[in-house]
Amino acid sequence: MRRISEVQAKKSLKKANGDRQYGHGSVDLFINCSADLMDLFAQYLESQMTVPPRKGAGSRVQRLHVELAYSRFYKTLRDFMDGEKDEQ
């Protein structure tokens, strides 16, 4: 499922390494994989909510909830990526 445009995907890939070239179908696969990561983050965000939906105060996702979940999610991914570098 497409969540980001091809233009947005290419900008993101170029930001990672402007000299890299991408073979046939790799940008489309990147788009699909990024959608999977977005879904995974949404699931993680939901798992961090302590009040069930529609159960009163604290049940609405606020900006702070997203910021806290993102910082944990990002740190975990970053630590994993850094660990991968150390193993090489």
- Topology (CATH level 3) of domain 6-87: Histone, subunit A (1.10.20)
The pTM of this model reads 0.85
In the chain, where the domains are located:
6-87
pLDDT in tens, the chain (88 residues): 678 999 999 999 999 999 999 999 999 999 999 999 999 999 999 999 999 999 999 999 999 999 999 999 999 999 999 998 888 7
What number of CA atoms fall less than 13 Å from residue 65's CA on the CB side?
16
Characterize 73-84 residue by residue with b for buried, 16 or more Cβ atoms within 10 angstroms of its Cβ, and e for exposed: beeeeeeeeeee
* DSSP assignment letter at 52: -
